[in-house]
């Protein structure tokens, strides 16, 4: 066992895990903040500041369930060859982290919003099939995840379509859109607060040792939803109709209200993204750390939350340094976004990702957000979509799986030669 002779593999795993987390932050931050920037509610700097806090909080408070899925369920650790030689898991997880992190940084440099979930799972499957055996892959669970990759964009598209349709019916297509927006804003804010708090309380706090009973899991999200409504109402108290601006653009005053609402949904989206996608960065690291806990300091061995903390820090670092590139690609290029459209897309994305996090399923946040933006675009008419940009993004998704797998195979044999 390589850990009997050296702590170098563990040190490399921590470094590679941080690099992968940086890649997640640099590339996937667009999923949380791209719509807010594209609809001109937030500047890039403001979006990054909001994301720093809520991505970190989501990863640390609600990321444990999905981390467990990446760590334990993709490959079959009980496969005899892996039981007899756990070094193969170490080599493979190291390779997966390094290959995925490298691919994400390359994609970010070119402004491609690729799927970090595809990248890490493609890498894990790649090393397992070629370096170990096809039987080492948990194909049943993998097909379960893959079905959600296909299903989740359609879910978010439908939710976004329905949300934007209700916005049209209840607010935009009425005689007094501004008054209607103020009337229904608390309802939308309640839904936003309820969604994100439900996942955090139901799944996220368990790995921190906080156990709530069923009525606490119901009443607390309701209370937090009501708090969101109150905060939204207070934020809009001094927002007044600008009739002069409305003469130039009919919904100018209404979009101000949705701009305030989007700040809330942007926070919710960042939290949801951090809770789901931190697993892509630290799931393999958690597997390596679990193989040989006696090489870790006592506090780290007994409290695996340090893995989530490392992932959260890496995500924040990556988004601060390189996140602006992808924010612009997703937020502005697929379809023209106004605050009302961006609100519908963000709420749909946060709802879908939060539900997946609660179920412990590592969905692609990129898929979900693009599906939501697509749903809003369809609600406006197919001509509102930039199909060329959409096609380029979808092509990058298909490239990511084999790219992660091929790089992982190369690095797997490199690490195997290095430590053998």
Give the alpha-carbon dihedral of 370, 376, 378, 380, to 10 degrees.
-140
Please choose, from the candidates 9, 133, 145, the residue with its C-alpha nearest in 3D space to the C-alpha of residue 73: 145
What pLDDT was estimated at residue 62? 62
Nearest 10 degrees: Cα torsion 339, 344, 349, 350: 80
Judged against a pLDDT cut of 90, whether residue 21 lies above it is answered with: no
pLDDT for 202 beyond 70: no
pLDDT of residue 410: 93
Q: What is the mean pLDDT of residues 179-197?
A: 86
Per-residue confidence (pLDDT) for residue 409, from 0 to 100: 93
The pLDDT of 78-101, averaged and rounded, is 80
**SS3 labels along 368-419:** HHHHHHHHHHHHHCHHHECHHHHHHHHHHHHHHHHHHHHHHHHHHHHHHHHH
Confidence grade of residue 3 (pLDDT, cut at 50, 70, 90): very low
Distance (Å, whole) CA 350 – CA 192: 8
Domains in the chain: boundaries: 2-419
pLDDT at position 329 is 61
347: nearest Cα among 372, 318, 383: 372
At residue 241, the 3 state secondary structure works out as coil
Provide the terminal-to-terminal Cα distance of the chain, rounded to the nearest Å. 10
- For 34, 40, 153, 275, 301, the CA distances from 370, given in Å and listed in that order, are 10, 18, 7, 19, 39
Strongest mean pLDDT among 245-249, 331-335, 412-416: 412-416
What is the reported pLDDT for 226? 92
Looking at residue 200, its pLDDT comes to: 63
Count helices and strands (H / E) in the chain. 17, 0
Q: What is the pLDDT of residues 287-306, one digit of tens each?
A: 777 777 665 554 454 556 77
pLDDT > 90: what percent of the chain?
4
pTM of structure:
0.77
Measured over the CA atoms of residue 214, residue 216, residue 221 and residue 225, the dihedral's sign is positive
∠15-16-17 over CA atoms, to 5°?
A: 90
Lowest mean pLDDT among 116-120, 220-224, 243-247, 330-334: 330-334
The CA distance from 350 to 356, in Å, is: 10
Q: Higher model confidence: residue 8 or residue 344?
A: 344
Q: Which residue has the higher pLDDT, 153 or 409?
A: 409
> Which tokens sit at 377?
């675009």
The Cα 234–Cα 231 span in angstroms is 5
Highest mean pLDDT among 266-275, 320-329, 403-412: 403-412
Q: Which residue did the predictor score with more confidence, 160 or 29?
A: 160
- At residue 325, does pLDDT exceed 70? no
- Inform me whether the pLDDT recorded for 68 exceeds 80: no
Res 406: pLDDT: 92
Residue closest to 364 by CA, chosen among 10, 138, 116: 116
Q: What is the pLDDT of residue 353?
A: 78
> pLDDT band for position 211 (50/70/90)?
low
Range in 124-133, 218-227, 269-278, 292-301 the model is least confident about: 292-301
State mean pLDDT over 91-106: 88
Q: Tokens 């996608």 label which residue?
A: 277
* C-alpha atoms less than 13 angstroms from C-alpha of 44 in its C-beta half-sphere: 15
pLDDT at 236: 78
For all residues of the chain together, what is the average pLDDT? 78
Taking only the tens place, the pLDDT of each residue in 142-171 is 888 888 877 888 888 999 999 889 988 999
């Amino acid at each position: 066992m390589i850990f009997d002779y050296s702590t170098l593999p563990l040190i490399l795993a921590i470094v590679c895990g941080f690099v992968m987390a940086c890649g997640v932050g640099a590339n996937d931050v667009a999923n949380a903040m791209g719509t807010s920037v594209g609809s001109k509610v937030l500047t890039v700097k403001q979006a990054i500041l909001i994301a720093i806090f809520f991505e970190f909080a989501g990863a640390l408070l609600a990321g444990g369930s999905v981390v467990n899925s990446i760590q334990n369920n993709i490959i079959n650790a009980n496969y005899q060859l892996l039981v007899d030689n756990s070094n193969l898991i170490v080599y493979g997880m190291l390779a997966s982290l390094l290959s995925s992190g490298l691919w994400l940084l390359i994609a970010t440099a070119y402004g491609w919003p690729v799927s970090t979930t595809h990248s890490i799972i493609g890498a894990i499957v790649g090393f397992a099939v070629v370096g170990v055996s096809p039987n080492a892959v948990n194909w049943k669970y993998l097909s379960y995840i893959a079905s959600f990759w296909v299903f989740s964009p359609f879910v978010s598209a439908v939710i976004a379509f329905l949300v934007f349709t209700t916005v049209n019916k209840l607010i935009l297509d009425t005689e007094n859109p501004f008054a209607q927006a103020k009337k229904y804003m608390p309802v939308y804010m309640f839904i936003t607060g309820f969604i994100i708090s439900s996942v955090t309380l139901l799944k996220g706090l368990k790995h921190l040792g906080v156990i709530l009973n069923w009525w606490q899991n119901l009443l607390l999200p309701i209370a937090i939803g009501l708090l969101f409504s109150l905060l939204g109402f207070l934020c809009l108290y001094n927002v007044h109709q600008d009739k002069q601006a409305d003469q130039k653009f009919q919904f100018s005053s209404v979009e101000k209200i949705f701009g305030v609402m989007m700040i809330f949904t942007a926070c919710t989206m960042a939290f949801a993204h951090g809770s789901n996608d931190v697993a892509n960065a630290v799931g393999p690291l958690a597997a390596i750390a679990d193989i040989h806990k006696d090489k870790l300091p006592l506090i780290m061995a007994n409290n695996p939350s340090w893995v989530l903390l490392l992932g959260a820090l890496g995500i924040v670092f990556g988004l601060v340094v390189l996140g602006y590139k992808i924010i612009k690609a997703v937020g502005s290029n697929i379809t023209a976004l106004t605050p009302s459209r961006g609100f519908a897309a963000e709420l749909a994305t946060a709802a879908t990702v939060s539900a997946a996090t609660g179920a412990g399923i590592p969905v692609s946040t990129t898929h979900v957000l693009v599906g939501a933006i697509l749903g809003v675009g369809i609600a406006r008419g197919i001509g509102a979509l930039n199909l060329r940009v959409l096609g380029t993004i979808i092509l990058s998704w298909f490239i990511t799986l084999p790219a992660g797998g091929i790089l992982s195979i190369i690095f797997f044999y490199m690490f195997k030669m290095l430590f053998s």
